[in-house]
Amino acid sequence: MKLALVLHPEREGAAALAADFVARAAPRGIVVTALPEDARRVPGTVARPPNGPLDAAVVVAVGGDGTMLEAVRVALEADLPVLGVNAGHVGFLTRVEPGRLDAAIDALAAGGWAESRRMTLCARVRGRADAVGLNDVVVEKAISQHVVKISVVVGTERLVSYRADGVVVATPTGSTAYTFSAGGPLVDPELEALVLTAVAPHNLFSRPIVFRPDMSLRLTVDDDRPARVNVDGRTLALLAPGEEVVVFRGERAARFVELWPRHFTVAVRERFHLHDA
């Protein structure tokens, strides 16, 4: 069995945890591949070509949620499932804690794990290749001292123009990320929906709105100030006044390995320490 490692680029604790994972996997006949720069940090891995086909059964991310997003990008291209090992803090997307490495490796070796399929988003800007994300598409101000005006059209119907620091379109999986800090709802990641949330809006109406997954949202810069489009934290484009980004459901869902399926309520309670709330 082969696994493809995606490692946090800087955190040495993640590299140490990955080395522990590889050492435990080897006696079970599991080969772990990594990009050359990661292979140098993790003894026991086999270097794989940066641009070659991904020969693996599962992509394993060792890090936090940012590392998981990178692993999902890698896995989507190869249509592979992803498993996250938590070397971060909150780690809402990860499933394996450091104390359960042996149990996770045994479950992988045995095969037959469950999968959770997660809706993705596609962002389309004229003149750019479409960008796919797991968490969110954010249109935000490009000049820090000023708000930006962003008009939103849902399908063919104009909804509202926000004067705000930004506007977030999130998936249910991404509802625990940026949109949550902006006041958006937590949504069960097994659902499919588009969650629209304004960031620090200067509007009387500022409630988040949830739309069905087959709708498209067109966000246009409606002001004389530019805006930046980010997909899962990566900049896609700088929009000039009058330019737009169209956001819609991605064609391919992300596949998450579920070694120990967990109720969404349990995940929320554990990650946000609600035991005594």
Q: d(Cα 86, Cα 68) in Å, to the nearest integer?
A: 9
Would you say residue 277 has pLDDT above 60?
no
pLDDT class for 276, splitting at 50, 70, 90?
low
- pLDDT the model gives residue 5: 98
Residue with tokens 């940090």: 41
* pTM, two decimal places: 0.93
65 tagged catalytic: yes
pLDDT recorded at residue 112: 82
Query: Is pLDDT above 90 for 62?
Result: yes
**pLDDT digit string, tens, across residues 11-26:** 899 999 999 999 999 9
pLDDT at 223: 85
At the top level of CATH, the class of 2-118+253-271 is alpha beta
- The CATH number of 121-249 is 2.60.200.30
> What is the domain partition of the chain in residue ranges?
2-118+253-271, 121-249
With a cut of 90, say whether residue 266 has pLDDT above it: no
- State yes or no: pLDDT of 139 exceeds 60: yes
Considering 65, 136, 165, 232, which one is annotated as catalytic?
65
